[in-house]
Structures are given as C-alpha cells and as structure tokens.
C-alpha cells in the first residue's frame, strides 16, 4: 500500500515539484499516473523509491514510514518494489538468465531459490526459450520483457513501470501492457507512469492525472484527462 498525505517536495534549487499531493494505492491495484513533462511524475517515483525525501507531509510505502525510515531499512523497503524503466537498463554482457540471477544474488537469494524462481518468471513473460541469449540478440519488446522479469524475480509487492513502452512501437507497447495486466491479476500492485493516451484509454483502470505538482483528477475507467 502506498499513501501520500499532503506531500510537498521542494528541491534545493527552490523548484516546488509537488504541492500538497494526496492519494492512496491499495494492495493489488493497477493505477496509471499521467501528466506532461515536468508535472511531478518522476518526483513521485523518486519519493516512493526513497531516492528523494518529502519536504512536508506523510509518506507510507508497503508498511514503511518514509518520513522516519532509517538508512539501514531503505534496502529492505526497496525489496518490496520492482522498477521497470523506459531504457531497459540490462547488463549487456550477461545473458537473460544471468541478468535475473544478478538481481536475485543482490538480495542474498540462495542458489536453490534462483534455480526455482528464474524459469518460472521467464515463462511468465514468454521468454522461456531466450534464457541463454544476450540483450543484443533480442528485440526491443523482448528486452523490455526481460526488464519486467528482472523486476518480478524477487517477488515484490509492487511494480513501478516508468514509461515502460516509451521506446516501443504500438504493437509491442500493447503486448507489454497486456503482460503487466496479467502480472497485476496475479496479485502484484502496479503503478504505470506514461504519456501514452491510447494505452491509458484502452485499459479501463484508475488514472491519476498530475499537472504543475498537483493532482487534477483521480478517476477510474481508463479516462485520460483532456487537459493533460
């Protein structure tokens, strides 16, 4: 569960990125976060992942109070999150399987857990036959599915997808969104940050629209606010 309570964020240069943001995402929800460049979407993601701290207000992420969290607790909080980026961020000289193994070893997973979990996740994202391939041998859509598998492999409570279809054509974009929907149906909370109106309208989900650091609408049903 994510809860923003009257969150304000002012950067050191004086930029007021968020101005009294308030919303709650329940476990198991699928939510789109939309808005123009500079509206505050990236700041919201940085606050959830504890890359930045709020200036004012109360922020809860998966049971952790990020206003009072100790530095030593931050890695444990981040293990409850999986993050997917627009540019994939795969390790080019490692195979698909090795990319996922690296992510699991980073949190101390045992060899037995790794052997069991990776084949399951690769099948889930339809890449079971690509385990020994390197990223350069894959299409853009396949590379993004590897990135999704990496985000999933440690079984997070929530996945944050930051412009996950930004580098893909419409067909691949729809495939990725359909995959994310399937993952959500298995119980993982999903926050998708996107500019893509067509995708938002196609999936009948909750949409939080933000502009100039303020929420301008929060509605369910796949509606992308015309002002955004």
Residues with Cβ < 8 Å from 193, sequence gap 6 or more?
Answer: 32, 33, 34, 41, 42, 44, 45, 160, 161, 162, 163
Q: Could you give the count of Cα atoms lying within 13 Å of 175 in the half-sphere of its Cβ?
A: 15
**For 97-130, what is each residue's pLDDT tens digit?**
999 999 999 999 999 999 999 999 999 999 999 9
Position 36 scores a pLDDT of 92
Alpha-carbon distance 187 to 134, whole Å? 30
**Cβ atoms within 10 A of the Cβ of 17, count?**
22
Strands 56-61 and 2-10, sheet pairing: antiparallel
Cα 160 from Cα 151, distance rounded (Å): 9
pTM higher than 0.85 for the full model? Answer: yes
CATH architecture of 2-80+156-220: 3-Layer(aba) Sandwich (3.40)
The pLDDT of residue 58: 98
């Amino acid at each position: 569960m994510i809860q923003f309570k009257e969150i304000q964020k002012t950067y050191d240069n004086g930029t007021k990125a968020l101005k009294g943001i308030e919303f709650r995402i329940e476990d198991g929800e699928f939510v789109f976060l939309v808005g123009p460049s500079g509206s505050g979407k990236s700041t919201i993601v940085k606050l959830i992942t504890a890359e930045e701290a709020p200036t004012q207000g109360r922020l809860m992420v998966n049971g952790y109070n990020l206003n009072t969290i100790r530095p030593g607790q931050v890695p444990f909080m981040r293990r409850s999150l999986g993050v997917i980026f627009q540019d994939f961020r795969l390790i080019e000289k490692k195979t698909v399987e090795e990319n996922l193994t690296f992510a699991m070893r980073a949190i101390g997973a045992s060899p037995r857990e790794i052997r069991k979990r990776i084949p399951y996740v690769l099948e889930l994202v339809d890449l079971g036959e690509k385990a020994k391939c390197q990223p350069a041998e894959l299409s853009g859509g396949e590379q993004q599915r590897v990135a999704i598998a990496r985000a999933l492999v440690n079984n997070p409570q929530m996945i944050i997808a930051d412009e996950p279809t930004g580098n893909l054509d419409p067909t691949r974009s729809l495939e990725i969104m359909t995959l994310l929907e399937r993952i959500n149906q298995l119980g993982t909370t999903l926050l998708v940050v996107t500019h893509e109106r067509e995708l938002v309208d196609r999936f009948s989900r909750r949409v939080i629209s933000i502009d100039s650091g303020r929420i301008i609408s929060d509605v369910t049903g796949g509606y992308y606010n015309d002002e955004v």
